[in-house]
Amino acid sequence: MNMNRLKISLALCGAILAGNVMSAAEPSFIRTASSSTPAFETDFTDAAEKTVNAVVCIKSFSSRQQNPYGMQGGYDPFGGMFDFFFGNPGGQQRQQPRQQQKKKSEPVQTGLGSGVIISEDGYIVTNNHVIDNADKLEVLLNDNSSYEARIVGTDEASDLALIKIDAKGLSPITFGDSESVKIGEWVLAVGNPFGFNSTVTAGIVSAKARSLGASNKGGNMSIESFIQTDAALNPGNSGGALVNLNGELIGINSAIYSNTGSYSGFSFAIPTSIVKKVMADIRQYGTVQRAMLGCSVVELDAKLAKEKGITAVKAGCLVKDVNDMSTAKELGLKEDDVITAINGVEVHNFAQLVEQISKFRPGDKISVTYCRDNKSYTKTGVLRNSQGNTAITKKGDFAELGCAFMKLSSETKQHLGISNGVQVQGLKGGAFRDAGVKDGFIITEINDVPVNNSDDVEYLYNQVMKDEDNEKVLFLKGVYPTGKKYYYAVNLESNE
């Protein structure tokens, strides 16, 4: 190197080290800070200490024939890109050696996840997909004590569940305010990836009110408004805690963005604004009280705004249809109105609208701000449920059908010329009797699905009760022992 060049380079380095940065004439529009940036706090130990004892490991067991090492991802509604993380790493569908196969009636471990203690007496919040279809749940605390848990209630729409262990003096987590969380804020994720208990990872909030699009697939209503973070999460973290640097819960970890089922950049957590409401409803009512605005919307974008002549707002939810007997109808909302705020909280997209409505119950009053003809209006209305009223919804129970179901003999099937069916017996007060069903009626199909035993009936009942989008009705097709065919519609709406 030329010695003159070397001297200049060394001089420049010396100037930089001394804090005197030499530069060419800077354009006048560039703003230069006059003081150095203060160091930011990166000590996560206090938040970790407050959190690890509140996060538990949940093992699920089932007597059904499934992959004994767990279901990677729980289920995959996003075509392999968005995986719920739950179970064995790598997504390998490994089978036990034949000589180690369990008996069908003996429960085997089918999954592994996390949960968060929310009360001293043993209530724990987790993901619905962590405990779904489990015959037995085992909870392992951070001190290695183990408990068997029972399911208090579940909510498939928000992918949340509440379970309970018989314990006292536990260390519940403190809830924080997920709505006050800022993008770029440091957060910690605590869970049990790959079964490694009380693992803590750190990251930042990458985005808020993120939707993964599950509500557009499969037909069931999905409550989605995730906190997106880059904290490293893997199979087993599902149901664990996302906390701020004060150790306060701001979300329940639920999904990752991945092609492999393991961490590759982004993770998603259900915000506490939704978690608190769902948990309170399950404890108080046994099921979630779901409020509906009663209109279909699409997110406003530049193309739609230009097409509709909307210039007053650049973001919001454009109303497409308004349902009868709905809050939207009461408010006078019309097609092409743009909803911009709920109770003064701005909603720029569908996920934000869902999050705000999810905080309320049927019967609650809310104010809706919307734009019509480029003018802003705010009106107040009462939220309703999916049936258009404000009644409290009771927890569905298979026993509400009010009867038992007896398997048919081959002789009876042959005599009536049917290939399958189950017979109603011991009919008493309940939904079946209210629908006009009489003792001895043989059900061959429910909602166009053939039935053969009580388990088939219970399965179809549970499927109908889980479906938030459709009316809760069982359509029965069958025959009486006399050969007379009948059809019944059994209303399962249990509103008071």
Active site residues: 129, 159, 238
User: SS3 of 71, please?
Assistant: coil
Contact 191, 165 (CB under 8 A): no
Task: Quickly tell me which residue has 């042959």 as its tokens.
Answer: 414
Q: How many CB atoms lie within 10 A of CB 106?
A: 9
Q: Give the single-character DSSP code of 433.
A: H
Return d(Cα 231, Cα 205) in angstroms, integer: 8
CB-based contact 54:241 (threshold 8 Å):
yes
User: Where on the phi/psi map is residue 8: left (φ > 0), alpha (ψ -120 to 50), or beta?
Assistant: alpha
**CA separation for the pair 182, 383 (Å, rounded):** 29
Question: 11-22: string of b/e by CB count within 10 Å (b at 16+)?
Answer: eeeeeeeeeeee
User: Does residue 61 sit in helix, strand or coil?
Assistant: strand
Task: Name which of 271, 268, 255, 243 is nearest 179 in CA terms.
Answer: 271
Of 55, 52, 46, which is closest to residue 246 (Cα–Cα)? 46
CA dihedral 191, 196, 198, 199 (to 10 degrees): -70
Phi, psi of 413 (to 5 degrees): -60, -45
- The DSSP 8-state label assigned to residue 393 in this structure reads B
Q: List beta partners, residue 392.
A: none
Would you say the C-alpha torsion 349, 274, 249, 81 has a positive or negative sign? negative
Give the closest residue to 376 by CA, choosing from 331, 340, 327.
340
Tokens 């037995």 belong to residue: 136
Cα–Cα distance measured from residue 236 to residue 84, given in angstroms and rounded to the nearest whole number: 10
3-class state of residue 86 by DSSP: coil
Q: Which residues pair with 174 in a beta bridge?
A: 248
The 3 state secondary structure assigned to 15-56 is HHHCCCCCCCCCCCCCCCCCCCCCCCCCCCHHHHHHHHHHEE
Sign of CA dihedral 266, 270, 272, 274: positive
- The SS3 call for residue 383 is coil
Q: The tokens of 42 are what?
A: 């990166």
302, amino acid identity: A
